[in-house]
A and B are shown apart, each in its own frame.
Chain A
Amino acid sequence: MSEYGVLLQQVINGLSLGAMYALLALGFTLVYGILELINFAHFNVFMVSSFIGMWTLEAVGISGQSHVLTGLALAGVLALAFAVTMLAGGVLGVAIERFSLRPLRKVRGPAAMITTIGVSYILFNVILLGVGAESKNYPNPMPVVRWQFGQVTLELREVLIWGITAVLMVALHLFVHRTRLGKAMRATAQDAEAAQMMGVDVDRVIVTAFFVGSALAGAAALIFGLYYNFTSFIIGYTAGLRAFTAAVLGGIGSVGGAMVGGLLIGLIESLGGQLIAVRWTDVIIFSILILVLVFVPSGLFGRATPTKS
């Protein structure tokens, strides 16, 4: 393959990764937009959801990559897996808000953020202790199908990612722009007190934000497993770092920003790995994070710096 072809291939990879990071970043940014809270636990909700997805698939008899399904069976199994994983993620997110964050809502300072670090730790270690440190082979019923376009190869799994991500993003867009509750969410993020004066139940809006955000993390988690064919207790950290940087780069609190940021980070990761070296991608991502926060805290699309201090 020529260099051009390699690069193009990496762009495709990058977009697939980016889609996944975008979903993860979206969930994170939804909560931040309303509460101005950095929820560290979000990324381990992602990790836990990926295990739940794995167990769901195993429960219907899929194990490893050799159980291949096609057609209606494949669609059905995937639909089931997504439904369960997203629901589980959402419920987990809501539980975290209800029991560990709601009591702290009036407390000023970093107390809530520190609590999310604690919750994140708990999730991380429960899985680590429960299932061990080795990566698990992810049950994947998808057949490996490749299409060749000149110098690049497109795989079914990539098309799947793009497809599902697109569907979810459209769904999210419709939700926040066309439904009553979605508009209430946007209103609350812009002016919570005024929203309350319109009769919005702010508590309910917050719970919804956590549910939707965590459900998106669940979707991203299942996508991760199906794309990489593995999962492990550490993916919350590795993917989370990238998704977090994506959210910051796009502008924390901005839904469009999370999407764009996700794609950009995906591209940077895959092209960076190709052009520099894979082992330096973490440093690159962290550096982007620091540079954005220090010089352009509002990111690409974000509002002015937050009001909370």
Chain B
Amino acid sequence: MLEFRAVDTFYGDLHVLKSVDYRIEAGEIVCLLGGNASGKSTTMKAIMGTVTPRRGEILYEDRPLAGVSTAERVRRGIAPVLEARRLFPRMTVYENLEMGAYTRRRGLEFEQDLARVLGLFPHVEERLRQIAGTLSGGEQQMVAIGRALMARPKLLCMDEPSMGLSPAYVEQVFDIIREINRQGTTIFMVEQNANMALQIADRAYVLQTGQVVLSGPAAELRENEMIREAYLGEIKAP
């Protein structure tokens, strides 16, 4: 469904992503792991279109995304759950969910999606009229995921969903991710917490200073010593 082919991105003259290849098939949960400054967030931005690769291609459903605006990408079915949630702090929960569906027409589908989101996140319904900025981190994360789901995406891109959350909430979030995937949404998740991510992922890539140093089925990677080294910045990239 999504493919990166030899993608290079730069930040000024800093080479961030170095000829990376990813492949995400429909229906999978694929995780992108890596330590600090590895290029994970840049990957997300490249998918959403706020960063343009200098070389290489990003293909979505076999069509190149070059030149496609962010709004259009959302319309085609890619929705982001942003790092640190980034809800609109002074809008209500309901309005935040509405913004998720910004690119779509109102109507029956909107109501259906809203119902689905409320079903997935039971506590959100009570808080629909609450100002988003007053929610706790965990609650905000639920709303952020819900907001992305309101776009009825085929591919959900999540940027560090566990960051800043208490362990209880982290488990809830990962449960929900599994459920969303079971309901048919492909998930691409950037995550620093490798252990948790590998427990729900089908496959994973490990990134270090902009290069993919490990990849494969999650089951295999879970046993692999080299992940530790990659995270602690010890592997020399091939």
Residues of A within 8 A of B (CB): 180, 183-184, 186-187, 190-191, 193-201
Contact = CB atoms under 8 A, between A and B. Distances in A.
| The 3 A-B residue pairs with the shortest CB-CB distance in the complex, in nearest-first order | A199-B71, A199-B74, A199-B103
A111 B102 CA distance: 33
Interface of B: 48, 50, 69-72, 74-75, 80, 82, 86-91, 95, 98-100, 102-103, 147, 151
B102 A184 contact: yes
Contact of B80 (A186, A191, A197, A201): A197
A187 B89 CA distance: 9
Nearest to B103: A199
Contacts of B86: 191, 193-194
A171 B82 CA distance: 33
A197 B100 CA distance: 9
Given A180-B102, A183-B99, A197 B70 contact: yes
Contacts of A183: 91, 95, 98-99
B82 A194 contact: yes
A199 B90 contact: no
A198 B89 contact: no
Contact of B91 (A180, A187, A199, A201): A187
B95 A197 contact: no
Contacts of A200: 71, 99, 102
B1 to A, nearest CB: 19
A202 to B, nearest CB: 9
B50 A197 contact: yes
A183 B94 CA distance: 12
Contacts of B72: 199
A197 B144 CA distance: 12
A63 to B, nearest CB: 48
A193 B41 CA distance: 14
B50 A196 contact: yes
A187 B91 CA distance: 8
Nearest to B98: A183
Contacts of A201: 69, 71
A200 B48 CA distance: 13
A199 B103 CA distance: 6
Contacts of B89: 190-191
Nearest to A254: B90
